[in-house]
């Protein structure tokens, strides 16, 4: 069974930085493309970005609103996905989810980690 467990959220001041983590289990993490999705309070879902597997290049794509401030990375030896967020803004306040896709079972999601940006 796929399990995704996010951590690292919390209260941060505007302009600050944060690194979120997502520990994966139940599938071959090194072969998987991984994504981050966020949801601001009371709002809809917003795709943040994705990272390819190393065998597919290991590169990342980002949504336009976060390009340049967000960086997705992975450590396949630890089955862990990361999201580095810099220059945090109040509008970055959201629950952040990590997700992955399988052709046999579709999309799997973690339970999310809350990031609150406030002075």
- Residues touching other proteins, count (CB under 8 A): 22
Q: Are the beta carbons of 15 and 118 closer than 8 angstroms?
A: no
In the complex, the smallest distance separating the C-beta of residue 39 from other proteins, rounded to whole angstroms, is 8
Touching other proteins, residues 24-53 (CB under 8 A): 35, 37, 44-47, 49-50
The neighbour count for residue 34, using CB atoms within 10 Å, is 24
Nearest alpha-carbon partner for 4 in 81, 94, 70: 81
Nearest alpha-carbon partner for 74 in 114, 108, 31, 38: 31
In the complex, the smallest distance separating the C-beta of residue 15 from other proteins, rounded to whole angstroms, is 26
User: Which of 5, 8, 27, 61 forms a contact with other proteins (CB under 8 A)?
Assistant: 61
Give dist(CA 39, CA 45) in Å, integer.
5
Q: Which is nearer to other proteins, 103 or 119 (CB)?
A: 103
Q: Which residues bind other proteins (CB under 8 A)?
A: 35, 37, 44-47, 49-50, 61-64, 97, 101, 105-112
């Amino acid at each position: 069974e796929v399990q995704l467990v996010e951590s690292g959220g919390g209260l941060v001041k505007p302009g600050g930085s944060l690194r979120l983590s997502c520990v994966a289990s139940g599938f071959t993490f090194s072969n998987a493309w991984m994504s981050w999705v966020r949801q601001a309070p009371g709002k809809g879902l917003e795709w943040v970005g994705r990272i390819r597997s190393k065998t597919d290049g290991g590169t990342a794509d980002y949504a336009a609103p976060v390009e340049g401030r967000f960086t997705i990375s992975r450590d396949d030896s630890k089955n862990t996905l990361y999201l580095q967020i810099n220059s945090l803004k109040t509008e970055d306040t959201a629950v952040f989810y990590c997700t992955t896709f399988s052709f046999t079972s579709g999309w799997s999601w973690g339970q999310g980690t809350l990031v609150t940006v406030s002075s």
